[in-house]
């Protein structure tokens, strides 16, 4: 049996979808919400049951959770990069992760948890997932700090040889409609272009970057999920790898490149308007990110990673334009 926390969310539901495709249906979905748009993420997917997050935690603390679990995918968290309540972030992204990690240790369960590229901050130390560099990282926002706190707890307790932490970069793709302001630019742009015929991008406040030339590592959710389950069911080396790894494309693409790919997928000529960045984002905005994937590749991951243009086309044409979600 496998458990996915945040299982009705973006990456969590995509993991369930991919596991189903591989024949794994004994899955327990844990989340705090199964209403509205998130409910659609689970339509036609196969799993044993849905358990509310608080009920799940109560069962763990009382020792009454039943079933033999081999892997826990912990994707449940507050994912808002603009969240300012540190107590809330600490409870949801640090304490919750600790509770599950300790339970997995006690019960000999594989623990795969979501960290974030937000831990790298402005990239002063680069984007290398060498665990020796993690203590030196300086996240730009409280969300990134909460993820950094748990990575540090793992390292301080020498658990990097037992747990798998995944630093997700800018993930986009089907099943993210419920994320509101935290939806990817591809998702937001599609709606903007349909409504207005143009796309708004932030101007640059740094002379070394032109408007729209800020660069990020954009990774399609299908590739992100393949990298995730590699640490559970698809590793062909016969050895279970552990540690903290980057999950990205290994490419730095500009927002202009992303925008061009979106317009092309929609069969339209690019029409971009550059607007001022809100003041509350200026001090926590990443101008550049690019995942170093050497560690992942050294662990044995061999799948090709879709190009930006191909993955954007798949998302736009096969999902956004058809109002489709990941289904079997």
pLDDT for 6-45, tens place per residue? 999 999 999 999 999 999 999 999 998 666 668 899 999 9
pLDDT of 189 > 90? The answer is yes
Average pLDDT, the chain: 94
- How many residues does this entry show for the chain? 328
| Tens-place pLDDT, residues 256-283 | 999 999 999 999 999 999 999 998 888 8
Catalytic residue, candidates 46, 53, 162, 179? 179
* Cα 181 to Cα 78: distance, rounded to the nearest angstrom: 13
For residue 235, what pLDDT band results from cuts at 50, 70 and 90? confident
3-state secondary structure of 90: helix
Q: How far apart are CA 258 and CA 269, in angstroms?
A: 13
pTM: 0.96
Tens of pLDDT, residue by residue over 274-317, are 999 998 888 888 999 999 999 999 999 999 999 999 999 999 99
Q: Which two tokens stand for residue 64?
A: 């009454």
Q: Report helix angle 221-229 to 308-315, nearest 10.
A: 110
Residue 239 has a pLDDT of 66
Q: Is position 143 annotated as part of the catalytic site?
A: yes
How many other β-carbons are positioned within 10 Å of the β-carbon of residue 271? Answer: 12
pLDDT of residue 281: 85
Asked whether residue 238 carries a pLDDT value surpassing 70, the answer given is: no
The reply to whether 106 belongs to the active site is: no
Residue 64 has pLDDT above 80, yes or no: yes
Query: Choosing from 143, 190, 285, 325, which is the catalytic residue?
Result: 143
CB 212 within 8 A of CB 260: no
Please work out, in degrees rounded to the nearest 5, the angle formed at the alpha carbon of residue 48 by the alpha carbons of 63 and 110. 55
**For the chain, how long is the longest CA-to-CA vector?**
59
Kindly state the average pLDDT of the residues 117-132.
95
Please choose, from the candidates 131, 113, 77, the residue with its C-alpha nearest in 3D space to the C-alpha of residue 295. Answer: 131
Can you tell me the distance from the alpha carbon of 123 to that of 158, in angstroms, rounded to the nearest whole number? 25
Nearest to 193 by CA among 274, 268, 275: 268
SS3 annotation, 157-191: CCCCCCEEEEEECEEECCCCHHHHHHCCHHHHHHH
Query: Which of 100, 114, 190, 101 lies closest to 147 in space, CA to CA?
Result: 114
Structure tokens at 20: 């189903």
What are the backbone angles phi and psi of residue 170, rounded to the nearest 5°? -85, 95
Domain parsing of the chain, residue ranges: 2-173+217-250+292-305
Question: Per-residue confidence at 234, pLDDT binned at 50, 70, 90?
Answer: confident
DSSP line for 141-157 = SHHHHHHHHHHHHHHHT
| pLDDT band of 240, cuts 50, 70, 90 | confident
**CB-neighbour burial class of residue 237 (10 A; exposed 0-12, middle 13-18, buried 19+):** exposed
Domain 2-173+217-250+292-305, CATH:
3.40.50.720
């Amino acid at each position: 049996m496998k458990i996915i926390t945040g299982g009705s969310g973006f990456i969590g539901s995509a993991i369930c979808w991919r596991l189903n495709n591989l024949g794994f249906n004994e899955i327990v979905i844990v989340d705090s919400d199964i209403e509205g748009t998130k409910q659609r993420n689970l339509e036609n997917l196969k799993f044993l049951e849905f358990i509310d997050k608080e009920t799940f935690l109560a069962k763990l603390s009382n020792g009454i959770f039943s079933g033999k679990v081999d892997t826990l995918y912990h994707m449940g968290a507050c994912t808002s990069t603009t969240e300012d309540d540190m107590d809330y972030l600490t409870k949801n992204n640090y304490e919750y992760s600790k509770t599950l990690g300790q339970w997995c240790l006690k019960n000999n369960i594989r623990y795969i948890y979501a960290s974030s590229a937000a831990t790298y901050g402005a990239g002063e130390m680069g984007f290398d997932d060498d665990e020796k560099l993690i203590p030196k990282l300086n996240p730009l926002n409280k969300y990134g700090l909460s993820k950094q706190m748990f990575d540090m707890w793992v390292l301080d307790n020498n658990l990097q040889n037992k747990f798998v932490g995944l630093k997700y970069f800018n993930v986009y793709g089907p099943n993210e409609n419920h994320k509101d302001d935290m939806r990817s630019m591809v998702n937001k742009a599609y709606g903007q272009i349909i409504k207005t015929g143009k796309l708004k991008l932030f101007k640059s406040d740094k002379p070394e970057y032109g408007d729209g030339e800020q660069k990020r590592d954009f990774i399609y959710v299908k590739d992100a999920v393949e990298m995730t389950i590699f640490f559970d069911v698809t590793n062909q080396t016969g050895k279970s790898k552990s540690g903290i790894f980057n999950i990205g494309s290994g490419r730095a693409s500009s927002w202009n490149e992303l925008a061009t790919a979106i317009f092309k997928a929609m069969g339209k000529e690019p029409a971009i308007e550059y607007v001022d960045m809100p003041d509350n984002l200026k001090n926590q905005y990443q101008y550049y990110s690019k995942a170093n994937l050497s560690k992942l590749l050294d662990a044995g991951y061999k799948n090709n990673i879709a190009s930006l243009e191909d993955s954007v086309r798949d998302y736009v044409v096969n999902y956004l334009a058809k109002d489709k979600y990941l289904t079997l």
